[in-house]
Amino acid sequence: MSDGTHLSNFAGDKKGWPVYMTIGNLSSKIRQTPSTHSDVMVALLPIPIKNRNIPQKWLDEQRQTNREVLNEVLRRVLQPLTFKQHPSAESGYYNVLCADGNFRRCKPVLSAWLADCPEYSDLHHLKRHVWVWCECPKNELGDYVHPDKQHPRRDHNLYRTLRDANTKAADAKVSSGHVHRGFNVFRHIPCIAPDLPTRDLLHTMQIGMLDHLQKWIFHFVKKHERLDKYNAI
């Protein structure tokens, strides 16, 4: 989970960008109890200073440097999840002490990332004002697209291959997808980044509330079915 947080207006617009990690298969009782520390902060991502009244060329160079620094920090944080293009059978496995006192061979896998849309653009090395999950240009955002004419989904493995090719044609292909050229940590993690199952915290809360409502309705109906059966007897 990551969220750029505004801290203060009185000391130079101070901001923080914490990154938290948790284990996916925890019960809701444990996850919602603060004393269990189920969410652990693992890093504070760098916040670049605001640049004003500088030439556009210098501004573009500074933004490129900021992206490289951000990805380097994320690379160090997510290093245990990354792998080479042709991993071995035992790549990424660890001996993990489980709650029952036994050690097991485990492999951590990135299964979700909570953030808002602007943060996804920074995390996935995308250009501004484009859609995160498919190669949709800015001028077509918000318009209905027929299923037969939908834009291709973002393929991080393809972006990695094109980056490693280091040719003009490959650079043009990457640019056509509105992706910045350069290293991206998500291209080296064994997952499909656009398919991570969560979009933002609000959406996740809504799903949880809907699930709770469905269960309540189910028990309410069952209860009245039992009452009706009892009254009939």
Q: For residue 144, is pLDDT > 80?
A: no
| Residue spans per domain, the chain | 5-199, 208-233
68 burial (CB, 10 Å; 0-12 / 13-18 / 19+) is: middle
pTM across the whole model: 0.66
Q: Which pLDDT tens digit goes with each residue over 155-205?
A: 888 888 888 888 889 988 888 888 888 778 888 787 777 667 654 444 555
Percent of the chain, pLDDT > 70?
A: 78
Q: Higher confidence at residue 11 or residue 154?
A: 154
What pLDDT score does 233 carry?
55
Average pLDDT of the residues of the chain = 77
Residue 207 has pLDDT above 80, yes or no: no
What's the mean pLDDT in 16-40?
A: 82
**Close Cβ partners of 160 (under 8 Å, ≥ 6 residues apart):** 184, 187, 188
Range ranked top by mean pLDDT from 93-97, 139-143, 205-209 = 93-97
Q: How far apart, in whole angstroms, are the C-alpha atoms of residue 171 and residue 17?
A: 30
- Quote the pLDDT of residue 200: 46
